[in-house]
Chains A and B, each alone.
Chain A
């Protein structure tokens, strides 16, 4: 199915632009055209299909799924729902208050907030097409596990005390509207709205990510990363996690970069650690969550994710050959 994009990239690079296939620039341009066309085609298709499903799934329903569950069931459901429902990070605060107020454990809420940015349909589709199903499964499974373990840890250590006091005093009004009942036509309109909304928000990250991937792919010597970030360097994994914090992109932007890095021989664990750190550990998200969480909780949150990603990186570098 994806031969069409490679064919188109061949035609553009060697035909229309007349570049010599053995040059750096031809390599980079081919990577860029192939990935950009493929990614945008997939984005539109997948977001539309998921939008049809999601038109029936409001945050109020997520909350009612989670209410009154046993702890472990709540963690698992929280990360699963976090994975299928991407919320704008600007909604983190009302979501947090709404969940906690409904009696959902703080840990389950944190699990939801960890999983939501890391795993979504866009990330999964890109992973599948660019990196294959094995890495996709790995990424999703470790992302869910990091979410569940993080939530369990928050509750086990009794970290509710690091939630701002005013949160417990807020009284949430009755949810407006109730269940959404939409006609097929309205569902399609909703799904198209999702497409223009999400693509409009992330296209720049896609271009930047693929552009960076193309430069890495075309110009960086084959052994450069193998030498500096290869398995012989024990600090490559923590460095990858640290490098990921100031880079604020969503999963869409980082996956083409990961593709190029893997192609240059960087070990799988190091690449996974970088990807997760870029996507989940971000300063803007922390600043938003500061409204409901004390600084100590944010410190714990960041430290936990950093340790978890470093562990994931080492584990895969050792066991995945």
Chain B
């Protein structure tokens, strides 16, 4: 199961990003756990300056703005 973290202070874009990840995962039949991280210390520990950020299995794959559908699919389908 992929561990996904959405980094963000609870802004609208962060909510949209989390929902997009969950919807795409369901559509693709990929097993994921999406976790919303709002603690600033933890967000900054990833070195992300723009939110929302996305962390997949411990690696930062995205920062700033809602990610594109294709990018989300690529993360979910990557082995």
| A residues at B contact (CB < 8 Å) | 58-60, 63, 87-88, 90-91, 93-95, 97-98, 101, 166, 169-177, 193, 197, 288, 291-292
Contact = CB atoms under 8 A, between A and B. Distances in A.
Contacts of A291: 9, 40
A181 B65 CA distance: 19
A94 B45 contact: no
Given A175-B47, A177-B60, A97 B13 contact: no
Contacts of B11: 88, 90, 288
Of the four ranges (under 10, 10 to 19, 20 to 34, 35 or more), the interface on chain B belongs to 20 to 34
Nearest to A63: B49
A91 B64 contact: yes
B62 to A, nearest CB: 9
A97 B40 contact: yes
A197 B65 contact: yes
A193 B50 contact: no
Contacts of B51: 90-91, 93-94
A172 B8 contact: no
Interface of B: 8-9, 11-14, 40-41, 43-51, 59-60, 63-66, 68
Given A176-B60, A193-B68, A197-B65, A88 B44 contact: no
Given A98-B49, A173-B47, A174-B47, 6 more contacts: A59-B49, A88-B65, A93-B40, A94-B51, A171-B45, A176-B60
A90 B13 contact: yes
A305 to B, nearest CB: 23
Given A90-B9, A90-B11, A176 B44 contact: no
Contacts of A193: 68
B43 A166 contact: no
A101 B48 CA distance: 13
A179 B53 CA distance: 17
A193 B14 CA distance: 17
Given A59-B49, A90-B8, A95-B50, A172 B60 contact: no
A90 B40 contact: no
Contacts of B63: 176
A170 B40 contact: yes
A271 to B, nearest CB: 31
28 contacts: A59-B64, A88-B11, A88-B13, A88-B50, A88-B64, A88-B65, A90-B8, A90-B9, A90-B11, A90-B51, A91-B49, A94-B40, A94-B44, A95-B49, A98-B44, A166-B40, A166-B41, A169-B41, A171-B45, A172-B47, A173-B45, A176-B46, A176-B48, A176-B60, A177-B60, A197-B66, A291-B40, A292-B40
A169 B48 CA distance: 16
A170 B64 contact: no
B14 to A, nearest CB: 7
A135 to B, nearest CB: 31
Contacts of A93: 9, 40, 51
A90 B47 contact: no
Contact of A170 (B12, B44, B68): B44
A177 B44 CA distance: 15
A263 to B, nearest CB: 35
Contacts of B48: 94, 176
A94 B43 contact: yes
Contact of A288 (B9, B45, B60, B66): B9
Nearest to A172: B44
Contacts of A176: 46-48, 59-60, 63
Contacts of B59: 176
A94 B13 contact: no
Contacts of A169: 41
Contacts of A60: 49
